[in-house]
Amino acid sequence: MIRKPKDDAELEDFGRFSEPALLILVSLAEGPRHGYSMTEDIEAIAGTRLGPGTLYGALARLEARGLIEPLKSKNNDRRNPYRLTTLGERSLRARLDSMMAVARTGQRRLAHA
């Protein structure tokens, strides 16, 4: 059985926002981004366009749990950039490791099927 890493639990109770939250963390792994830039990046990497309701539902949860943090916007820009916190980076790593372990197991089993 594949054990879930401890830090992975941070994303456990996000409900329908789990996947958008994961995509946001992946998007921010490259560096700070604001909301619209995240939707563009996520569409490019996952082929899913997050609506603003979903995007900010996930962003608010990630921020409340300390996985991301807002940065001060430049020149009174209305767009607030966000960045990953150390905790966010750890959670993302843990989730990706867990997903890779599942993928590897699936591939191995399919190879023997």
Partner 1 sequence: MNWLLQLYPARWRERYGEEFAAVLARQRASVGLVLDVLAGAIDAHLHPQIQNSRSKQIKGDDTMTLAMLERCAAGGPKLSPSERRIAFRLSILSALVIAALYIVLTKIYREAPAVQAVYWTSILFPNFIYQQTVYLKKRLWLTQAIVLGAGLSAMYLFMLAVCVVGRKL
The two three-digit tokens of residue 96, written as one number: 């990706």
Cα separation of 18 and 27, whole Å? 14
Please report how close the Cβ of residue 51 comes to partner 1 at its closest, in angstroms: 3
| Neighbour tally for 9: CB within 10 Å | 12
Q: Which of residues 16-45 bind partner 1 (CB under 8 A)?
A: 34-36, 39
Q: Hey, which residues between 52 and 71 contact partner 1 (CB under 8 A)?
A: 52-57, 59-61, 63-66, 69-70
- Residues 87 and 80: beta-carbon distance below 8 Å: no
Residues found near partner 1 in the complex (CB under 8 A): 9, 12-13, 34-36, 39, 51-57, 59-61, 63-66, 69-70, 78-80, 87
